[in-house]
Amino acid sequence: MTTEGLKQRLFAEVDRRLPEFQGLLRDVVAIPTDNPPGDTSACVDYLARYLKSKGLPADVYEPQPTVQSLVSWMEGRQAGRNLVLNGHLDQFPAGDPETWSFDPYSGECRDGRIFGRGVGDMKAGSVASLLSLVLLHELDVPIRGQLTLTLVGDEETGGAWGSEWLLEHVPMTRGDACLNSEPTGMDQVLIGHKGKYTLRIGTRHGGGLAAVPVEDDAIARAMAVTEALMRLKGWRLETPPDVGDAVARGRERAVRGGELAGRGWVADSTTVNVGVIQGGVQSNTIPTACRMEIDLRTPVGVSTQDLQEKVEEVLAGTDLDRGEIDVEWVVCLESAYSAPDEEIVQAVAANARRITGREIEANVSYGSTDTRFWWRRGIPAAIYGTDLENIAVPDEQIRESEFGQVLKVHAATCVDYLC
């Protein structure tokens, strides 16, 4: 059978069984995987049993207690390339259920939409990846090489115990290319994104009684550090020429769509966010210690070394003794990307264009995904998923039709790459 014939069989099967597949997604949404705490064990157990019921392997890895990842695969009739499908199972916490207009773990379906925490980011995509493997297996599609599924934990907290751990310890998960199903919006393929860093800053002081205050206690020193680091906002270096257009398109799209209205610089410059400040013990003593956690996002073109040197430069510009500032680089995830002309990128874009009827751009994102772990190893990777509606806030949802379209795009891309 021709490649086109194989795709038509897959599309017909998706159309026929879409209610069944939506039911699987609803079941997955109903299993809480909020991170923190990051427990994916119940969800992995459910999906492992599902895969085994289809005659597919299901290996479970747990490098940290309850932080589980799932790996499955099918082998082709002939030797060939290995395509890795990647998605994460952990999700942002649902928060106060009173702020939702429905049960955040209901997986409720109505008015052509599926509702629930994690349905967009990214259980719809992860289930689409899983079903791509299941469909190719059930229809006995004659692939060459191997199709590998990786559904992981720990993405929302950096990925060290999820995708990164698998790439280090399970060789088949590296592959020759990777297709990730994070939510992108249906009219773009993402081929790169900014770097993500977490700094843990500590400052100290000898302390004393508040009756004899000082101007440079530990909290005041932390504020001076914060002021220095804020000078990194908007900092950038030259964008690599082979991805310059993709970065510019990503910025223009985010501004036009309202996500970055009036803040277009966020897309291609450094951002700084002080997310945690903890200092002092009580109001009548001088603070002896202050601790902060700071998030830095760097544009494509800025390396880890570039950023670390820049941080030291701005800290040196303060009046503080550098020996009294503790700086720990907790997360160091450098910006990364694939070239727009990579085969996997072109295949995803072509299938998305055909299935959605939209023009498809290849852009660089200001967000962050596990795909970086493949890019950093020089493995081509592309990201394509549903729209982003209420990600990380109450009433998260997706359109049912988009779930079916994303599934078709991923399954068709598997055929293109492996047949």
Q: What is the pLDDT of residues 287-317, one digit of tens each?
A: 999 999 999 999 999 999 999 999 999 999 9
pLDDT at 78 over 90: yes
CATH code for the domain defined by 195-248+260-333 = 3.30.70.360
Measured distance CA(67)–CA(302) in Å, rounded: 31
Q: Centre a 10 Å sphere on the Cβ of residue 240 and count the other Cβ atoms it contains.
A: 14
Q: Say if residue 251's pLDDT is above 90.
A: yes
Q: Which two tokens stand for residue 296?
A: 């830095």
Strand 177-180 and strand 78-88: pairing?
Answer: parallel
Q: What's the pTM?
A: 0.91
With pLDDT > 90 as the criterion, what percentage of the chain qualifies? 89
Token code pair at residue 368: 């962050």
- What is residue 215's predicted lDDT score, i.e. its pLDDT? 85
54-58, 329-333, 388-392: the lowest-pLDDT one: 388-392
The rounded distance, in Å, linking the Cα atoms of 239 and 120 is 30
Q: Which superfamily is assigned to 3-193+335-418 in CATH?
A: Zn peptidases (3.40.630.10)
Average pLDDT over residues 177-183: 97
**Any long-range contacts for 222-227 (C-beta under 8 Å, 24+ apart)?**
222/277, 222/279, 222/290, 222/291, 222/292, 224/318, 224/319, 224/320, 225/201, 225/292, 225/315, 225/318, 225/320, 225/325, 226/274, 226/292, 226/294, 227/318
Write b or e for each residue in 36-64: b if 16 or more Cβ atoms lie within 10 A of its Cβ, otherwise e: eebbbbebbebbbebbeeeebebeebebe
Which of 169, 136, 118 is CA-nearest to residue 412?
136
Q: Are 294 and 185 in contact (CB under 8 A)?
A: no
Reported residue count of the chain is 419
Q: How far apart (Å, rounded) are the C-alpha atoms in residues 109 and 400?
A: 8
Q: How far apart are CA 195 and CA 184, in angstroms?
A: 18
Query: DSSP code of 137?
Result: H
Burial-class residue 27 by CB neighbours within 10 Å (0-12, 13-18, 19+).
Answer: middle
pLDDT exceeds 90 at position 69: yes
| pLDDT given for residue 203 in this prediction | 94
Domain map (residue ranges) of the chain: 3-193+335-418, 195-248+260-333
Phi-psi region of 145 (alpha: psi -120 to 50; beta: other; left: phi over 0): left
pLDDT band (50, 70, 90) for residue 214: confident
High-pLDDT (> 70) share of the chain, %: 100
3-state secondary structure of 151: strand
Confidence band (pLDDT; 50, 70, 90) for 139?
A: very high
What does the mean pLDDT of the chain come to?
95
The model's confidence at residue 209, banded by pLDDT at 50, 70 and 90, is: confident
- Asked if the domains at 3-193+335-418 and 195-248+260-333 fall in one CATH topology, the answer is no
* E-assigned strand segments in 250-396: 271-279, 285-286, 289-298, 325-333, 336-337, 361-365, 381-383
d(CA 271, CA 236): 10
List 298's β-bridge partners, or say none: 195
pLDDT digits (tens, 9 = 90+) for 310-366: 999 999 999 888 888 999 999 898 999 999 999 999 999 999 999 999 999 999 999
Contact of 86 with 179, CB cutoff 8 Å: yes
Compute the distance between CA of residue 144 and CA of residue 175 in angstroms, rounded to an integer.
13
